[in-house]
Structure 1
Amino acid sequence: MSEKFQETTKKFTGVEPALITPFKEDLTVDREALEKLLRHTAKGADYFVVQGTTGESATTTLKEKQEILAFVKAHNPKQLPIVFGAGGNNTQAVIDLLGEMDLSGVDAILSASPHYNKPSQEGIYQHFVKIADASPVPVILYNVPGRTASNMKAETTLRLAQHKNIIGIKEASGDLSQCMEIMANKPEEFLLISGDDLLTNSMITLGAVGVISVMANPFPEVFANMVHNALKGDFVKANESLFKLLPINSLMYEESNPVGAKEALRQQSVCKNYVRLPLLPATDGLSKRIAKKIKEFGLR
């Protein structure tokens, strides 16, 4: 195992909250709440993802992305590694975005497989090769068929794993057989990262190094206990945490992500629950059910 690989593995091992973006009532970025969120999530975070899909990157402007990234750099309470979300269905637009961002102090980008276009596997491959060639920092792939309407097959991931600037994948297909195929055939240096909170323990048994998580926003300590115990091989304790999170997990997505996470954070006085259209804040019914589960399972 090379020294460089050991350093990379350490940097991206453990829990990474895919940070939400707090908004004020007028839907401008709430910097005070963002600073509070950074302190809150740092209780369990090993690194941060800024402006991933959970951060509502689809509705933030270029200027806002620049300001949010700069703010996180300046208010990073434990000086944790930072990953910046830079994906899209227009390859050249992603490359242009990378050129517009100050990526100094950023350790990698997280780039989701193209949505809506439904490209072929070869199209997905060429898309990521172009981005990796252009990116000044390493690239973590993101496969999330539930949002993109296409699955990046293990074969395509393994081809991309040969690229010197592609270091891993956030795998959120929910297909453990696909994850097994990646683990069985990947280069040693290539990192498998869970993209599904509830499958994280299972993926760690296959060799995943951790998770990029939604629930680590509102519940960083419980989630960190789960992941860190799993990485130590203590699945009895890891599953105790998992079973605490299990009943509330579906509520995080019932009205789309990050609606549930923002509502849980509102109930913990971290931020407001405002989201940008076409999303809407949590309904009263969802809010009450989240509050009930938080109380029932001691998740505060």
Structure 2
Amino acid sequence: MQALIGTGVALITPFRKDFSVDTEALERVVNFQVENGIDYLVVLGTTAESATLNKEEKKLVIDTIVKANAGRLPLVLGVGGNNTAEVVDELKTTDFSDFVAILSVSPYYNKPTQEGIYQHFKAVAQASPVPVILYNVPGRTASNMAVDTVIRLANDFSNIVAIKEAAGDIVQAMKLIQHKPEGFLVISGDDMVTLPMVLAGGAGVISVIAEGFPKEFSHMVRLGLAKRTDEAYEIHYRIMDSIDMIFEQGNPAGIKEIFKELGICENTVRLPLVNVNEDLANRLSAFVKKFSANTVAVGV
């Protein structure tokens, strides 16, 4: 799955002030990624506020992204949930002709055992007509996918090709890299530890902050993949403060504030999320202005 090596971004869903989907802004977001070095796009992930989108809106988002992308970058579709039968039904009834893979989150809220997680993804793998990227994000799901479970799935199902690992545990990530079968990709799902994971043998990232700074973050990942450590860390430390800030009051409220500052879309989010407060908005604005000035100065 060479298409999944490098920097993917979890696309936001821009909303107008009346909370309707802003398709024109979504087109701008897509073009901003394509024109600034991103390697692939993830559609309808957590950052898209997909939990607040109805079926018609999800189709609108997919259609808008597919049209705006126009085949320029590989697309990955988020298909997951905590009702295995419902996920399987979605996999059997969705047209995946525009997508190279799905990103499927570990079941949330139910808190399944490791065997339950295995059986869930066994059903997903058997139903999916495209390759599967597992998604481990215990901070949202309330359960961690153990290394043994991931490796078991990777060995048992040839179409389970990668994991987006977002436990924020670099030791767990290194164990995945150590024990994974050949060709299986360990992808960072945590922007702050992306570079250490890449340098340890990871395949790249599915990022939030890269959506706001696509040129710089994707360049950092490429430098990491090339083991040009000092150059990569120089970019990492320039971006680092913004990573904490965009998650400080919830995702995607933070990254949408950056997009507002960049003039790409409104900062509107849907309840139960709310906009970042004035203090954080001011700090993000100051960061964007300073970062942009420094980027011009150093050329990246």
Tell me the TM-score normalized by structure 2: 0.94
User: Could you list the per-position Cα deviations for residues 125-144 of structure 1 after superposition, in whole angstroms to 9, with x for gaps in the alignment?
Assistant: 10111011111111000001
Structure 1, unaligned runs of 5 or more: 1-7
- Check if 1:119 corresponds to 2:116: no
State the one-letter code of the partner of 2:88. I
The alignment covers a number of residue pairs equal to: 292
Question: Which of 103, 120, 123 is residue 110 of structure 1 equivalent to?
Answer: 103
Question: Which of 249, 254, 267 is residue 255 of structure 1 equivalent to?
Answer: 249
- Check if 1:228 corresponds to 2:222: yes
User: Could you list the per-position Cα deviations for residues 221-252 of structure 1 after superposition, in whole angstroms to 9, with x for gaps in the alignment?
Assistant: 11112111111111111111100111111111
Contact 1:44 1:216 in 2 (8 A): no
SS in 2 for 1:246: helix
- Check if 1:35 corresponds to 2:27: yes
Contact 1:66 1:101 in 2 (8 A): no
Tell me the TM-score normalized by structure 1: 0.94
Find the aligned partners of 1:297 and 1:80 in 2 and give their Cα distance: 26
Question: Which of 142, 150, 160 is residue 153 of structure 2 equivalent to?
Answer: 160
Find the aligned partners of 1:25 and 1:210 in 2 and give their Cα distance: 34
- Check if 1:270 corresponds to 2:264: yes
Post-superposition, which runs of at least 4 consecutive aligned residues in structure 1 deviate over 6 A? none
Offset of residue 118 of structure 1: 0.7
Question: Which of 81, 85, 90 is residue 97 of structure 1 equivalent to?
Answer: 90
State the one-letter code of the partner of 2:151. L
Question: Which of 164, 171, 180 is residue 170 of structure 1 equivalent to?
Answer: 164
Find the aligned partners of 1:152 and 1:199 in 2 and give their Cα distance: 18
Match of 1:80 in 2: 73
Offset of residue 18 of structure 1: 0.4
State the one-letter code of the partner of 1:255. Q
Match of 2:49 in 1: 56
Find the aligned partners of 2:212 and 2:252 in 1 and give their Cα distance: 11
Structure 2, unaligned runs of 5 or more: 296-300
Offset of residue 78 of structure 1: 6.0
Find the aligned partners of 1:100 and 1:255 in 2 and give their Cα distance: 36
Residues 88 and 204 (structure 1 numbering): CA distance in 2 closer, same or farther, change over 3 Å?
same
Find the aligned partners of 1:71 and 1:17 in 2 and give their Cα distance: 16
State the one-letter code of the partner of 2:19. L
Find the aligned partners of 1:221 and 1:184 in 2 and give their Cα distance: 30
Find the aligned partners of 2:71 and 2:241 in 1 and give their Cα distance: 31
Match of 1:18 in 2: 10
State the one-letter code of the partner of 1:28. S
More helix by share: 2
Match of 2:298 in 1: none
SS in 2 for 1:272: coil
State the one-letter code of the partner of 2:23. R
Find the aligned partners of 1:44 and 1:147 in 2 and give their Cα distance: 29
Contact 2:189 2:206 in 1 (8 A): yes
- Check if 1:46 corresponds to 2:39: yes
User: How well do the aligned residues superpose, as a CA RMSD in angstroms?
Assistant: 1.3
Contact 1:110 1:140 in 2 (8 A): yes
Find the aligned partners of 1:69 and 1:38 in 2 and give their Cα distance: 12
Contact 1:66 1:102 in 2 (8 A): no
State the one-letter code of the partner of 2:58. K
Find the aligned partners of 1:213 and 1:179 in 2 and give their Cα distance: 16
Contact 1:38 1:77 in 2 (8 A): no
